[in-house]
Chains A and B, each alone.
Chain A
Amino acid sequence: MDKILRIDMGAKGGPQVKVEGLGEYAGLGGRAMTSSVVFREVPPLCHPLGAENKLVIAPGLLSGSSASMSGRISVGCKSPLTGGIKEANSGGQGAQVLARLGYAAVILEGKPEGDDLYKVFINRDGVKVEKDNSLKMLPNYDLVDKMKGVYGDKITCISIGPAGEMKLGAASVAITDIEGRPTRHAGRGGVGAVMGSKGVKVIVLDDTGLKNREPKDAEKFRAANKKFVEGLTTHAVTGQALPAYGTNVLTNIINEAGGYPSYNFKDGQFAGASKISGETFADIETKRGGNATHPCHRGCVIRCSGTYVDKDGHFVSKQPEYETVWAHGGDCGIDDPDAIAQIDFLDDNIGLDTIEMGATIGVAMQAGLVKFGDAAAAIGLIKEVGKGTPLGKILGSGAAVTGKVFGVEKVPVVKNQALPAYDPRAIQGIGVTYATSPMGADHTAGYAIATNILKNGGWVDPLKPEGQVELSRNLQIATAAIDSTGMCLFIAFAILDQPETNQALINLLNAFYGWNLTGDDVTALGKKVLKMERDFNAKAGFTKEQDRLPRFFTTEKVGPHNITFQVKDAELDSVFNW
């Protein structure tokens, strides 16, 4: 991982490939890499779909090594959805394969003049960029099948569906999983639209003949990985609950806590929650012959993913994640697991962020376009996006645009990005993260649910404003660091509770690179990343007034706790004062 691949899609005479050393980006991975490149090279006032924006795809520091859990990939740019900096993070095989191919980053630059579509093929022999207009408007699954026909079954694809080609605000970048299905997505912020604006439909990776990246100190690295894996497999969350039920184990608990936004954030509980809970999905998958415990990338020991099949045992989609089940389920008043799994497939195939799309349909339901609870109508709306009808393009532009077009007051977005599956009134810590993260409303940016609800890393009362700013601040710093390592964020459940597992992670980095990092250095890295992101946003025109939740969260109470969001504006403004 000692080189950076730049592809200038706007070069005269066609795309130009340049491979260079790491230079000033040495020692960076994942989010630290993408945010550094965007911060240093992208003019903050550029149009996100213009030639000056760049799409940066970066594996983490430990990706491509034998370190367990190291398969996360970061996709960064100036976001067409938020207008600020973006890092969208995904599992799948992309990070491991790209890292083994030796690339610390792939940067798509410039903009082609015409509307030709390109595919990029990368293997041990080099990089080929070819025009291929036969791929136009292919959904992700069909595209990947076609690529397998050309390049063989062992490839990994990083691609966009029709939504990315149409440059919609909810467009994702898809990454294939260990079965070669496009089920994992860098979903948030419209990163797929930026890839579409560069005219790149798919990056095909083939690491045939290449081995894992070797650590500087193999013995120490093996020992650290052993300790790290022990910590994950013995912790109750990463060793038991996530493998058995996946992320959707949260439906019941968030609903029980009164923090489950239903009917477009009208209520804090949903009567149909148990019908779409992780327990129910796991039951269905087991009974029908699906799979409730499955890794999204090789080397994952948590295995929170799964495979959802229909009554006849045929593949429907991967096991929908908690946020997807909430967005397309409770937020829209829908309690049908089969319908939700079908929508999950449609989103993946069209190349859409499931959180943005579920929240958008919730807003459309609020507007009366279709009725709450009408699963068939929701499926119809997602198909409109895939077809690219005018209505579909409005919906595919996200919740904020849809709310404006249909005259809806209650639109759950921060910096134009839809809120995920936790009501910030009943879980106030996550409200601080939603309001202040440089990414817009993003639960993963500082997952206060862990400490507010799950009693992981201590407990801060979710119903009170006290302690939430400090909680969110510390989590945002830690997350920015973890997102740079290539590690799955779920390792945080174990490292928040177990200092020895946290130390094992630091030991992994030190043994791999020959570094002498301490816990303080890791914290400093997290702060550095956040500072760059905040600085970029400030230069792009963001002020503290954008670090706020939509007004209705402070004026409308939500049941069952009958509570509003109570963290004061001045406190929100102190999140990044460290």
Chain B
Amino acid sequence: MHITVKLFATLRRGRFDREILDCPGSTKVLDIVTRLAIPEKQAAIIFINSRHGGLDTELHEGDTLALFPPVGGG
């Protein structure tokens, strides 16, 4: 299945801004985080289709996964 992965802030360094990844049928967020060699703590804020998710959230065909390191501002 195809998952659109978007990376932000420091997670982009040495990786990418946005890519469509081909993944096996049963894929969790953690599988993608591991595949991209992102330390778990650095995947601090996880959105799946604009909703908060976790490392063990199951992904589905066509999902958009956005990963952020710890960030703040305002």
B72 at the binding interface (Cβ < 8 Å): yes
Q: Is the CB of B74 within 8 A of A279?
A: no
A 180-201 binary contact with B (CB < 8 Å = 1; else 0): 0000000000000000000000
Q: Least Cβ distance of A460 to chain B in Å?
A: 10
Evaluate contact between A249 and B52: CB separation under 8 angstroms.
no
| Interface pair A248/B69, CB less than 8 Å apart | no
* Min CB–CB distance A471 → chain B (angstroms): 15
Cross-chain contact A238 with B72 (CB below 8 angstroms): yes
| A554 and B48 alpha carbons, distance in the complex (Å) | 26
CB-nearest residue of chain A relative to B64? A256
Contact call B74/A455, Cβ cutoff below 8 A: no
Is B1 engaged at the interface, CB distance under 8 Å to the other chain?
no
Contact for B72 among A237, A269, A279, CB less than 8 A? A237
Q: A244-B10, A279-B8, A279-B12 are in contact. Are A237 and B51 (CB under 8 A)?
A: no
Count class of interface residues, chain A: 35 or more
For the complex, give the distance between the alpha carbons of A246 and B74 in Å: 9
CB <8 Å contact, A447 and B68: no
Known: A252-B8, A257-B50, A279-B9. A454 touches B45 (CB 8 A): yes
Q: Are A250 and B50 in contact (CB under 8 A)?
A: no
Are the C-beta atoms of B8 and A455 separated by less than 8 Å?
no
Asked if B72 and A490 make an inter-chain contact with CB atoms under 8 angstroms apart, the answer reads yes
CB B72 to nearest CB in A, in angstroms, measures 4
Q: Which of B17, B47, B73 contacts A249 (CB 8 A)?
A: B73
Interchain nearest-CB distance for B74 vs A (Å): 6
Nearest opposing residue in chain B for A493, CB measure: B72
B10 neighbours in A (Cβ, 8 Å):
240-241, 244
| Contact among B51, B71, B74 for A447, CB-based, below 8 A | B74
Q: Is B25 an interface position by the 8 A CB rule?
A: no
B21 in contact (CB, < 8 A): no
Query: Inside 8 A of A447's CB, which chain B residues have their CB?
Result: 74
Of residues 103 through 125 on chain A, the ones whose CB sits less than 8 Å from some CB of chain B are none
Chain A 268-287 interface mask (CB, 8 Å, partner B; 1/0) = 01000010001100000000
> Chain A CB within 10 Å — which of B45, B47, B50, B68 has the most?
B50
Contact status of A242 and B73, CB under 8 A, knowing A256-B66, A279-B9, A454-B45 = yes
A contact set with B: CB distance below 8 Å: 235-238, 240-242, 244-250, 252-253, 256-258, 269, 274, 278-279, 304, 322-323, 443-444, 447, 449-450, 453-456, 459, 461-463, 490, 493, 560-561
**6 A-B pairs in the complex with CB atoms less than 8 angstroms apart:** A237-B71, A241-B71, A252-B9, A304-B73, A322-B74, A454-B70
